[in-house]
Amino acid sequence: MDTGVVSYASNIGWRDVAAVEGLRTRLGPGAPPIRLENDAKLGAIAEYLVGAAADIHDLIYVTGETGVGGGIISDGRLLRGSAGFAGEIGHMPLDPGGQPCACGRRGCWETMVGLAALLRLAAPPDDPVHDPTVDLEQRLTELRRRADAGDPATRVALERIAHGLALGLALLADVLNPRAVVLGGYFAHFGDYLIDRVRSELSARVMAAEAGRCEVMLSTLGFSAAARGGAYLAPMPCS
């Protein structure tokens, strides 16, 4: 339901924030039509229309950012669920004794494979890759350089991320039997380090043969997927 209100966004601490109304007020009387949508759902739409999984009618797009969310296309339709929360895959409780999550619980999938997990696993807290004042893509480029140079901590961290990804994706593949899983955000940035292990563990874990014909793909849209999906959904301007 398009209420213009963000019910809950754990990573930025928003509950029941009237985002559309707030934007409309700030933009004033000349504000264009504004709609609200979840970033993972927008990413899924972009991947379905022009990305790696274009025209694949059953797919899951997984954001790889601070939060881990999912956009699910089933039989060519975006899955929203009864209250719009379908796709909150980052909060599947896969490690109940694990790290605290921004949602207030422990061991959500996001704490195992989100960007914070990669940084935590790859570098000690005083390492510059944790510095939030440095542009994220710059920090990821530095981690990429370390991985390419064979840095053991970075390589082990990526192995653990790949293992964690496969755990969650196997559950999703068993439940939804997608034809494709598209890994977005930072997962795509490190795709060549992740994808072989993710594919092999997925095949081993999913009940159906050949992971139910589920193909793991890397997003070609990078961090722009959500913005592109938003552009496709935006109403055409009136002339």
Q: Which residues bind Zn ion (CB under 5 A)?
A: 91, 101, 103, 108
Burial class (CB in 10 A: 0-12, 13-18, 19+), 77: exposed
Q: Shortest approach of Zn ion to residue 105 CB, angstroms?
A: 5
Is the CB of 101 or the CB of 113 nearer to Zn ion?
101
Is the CB of 20 or the CB of 102 nearer to Zn ion?
102
Q: Shortest approach of Zn ion to residue 78 CB, angstroms?
A: 22
CA–CA separation, 22 vs 37, rounded Å? 15
The partner residues of 145 in beta bridges, in order of sequence, read: none
Q: Shortest approach of Zn ion to residue 83 CB, angstroms?
A: 17
Q: Shortest approach of Zn ion to residue 8 CB, angstroms?
A: 11
Q: Shortest approach of Zn ion to residue 117 CB, angstroms?
A: 12
Token pair 């072989």 in the structure block, residue: 196
Sheet of 215-218, strands arranged across: 77-78, 70-74, 59-62, 180-183, 215-218
DSSP state at residue 32: P
Is the CB of 91 or the CB of 139 nearer to Zn ion?
91
CA–CA separation, 16 vs 156, rounded Å? 39
DSSP-H helix ranges across 190-238: 191-205, 210-213, 225-233
Is the CB of 101 or the CB of 161 nearer to Zn ion?
101
Contact indicator for 219, 47 with CB cutoff of 8 Å:
yes
Is the CB of 52 or the CB of 101 nearer to Zn ion?
101
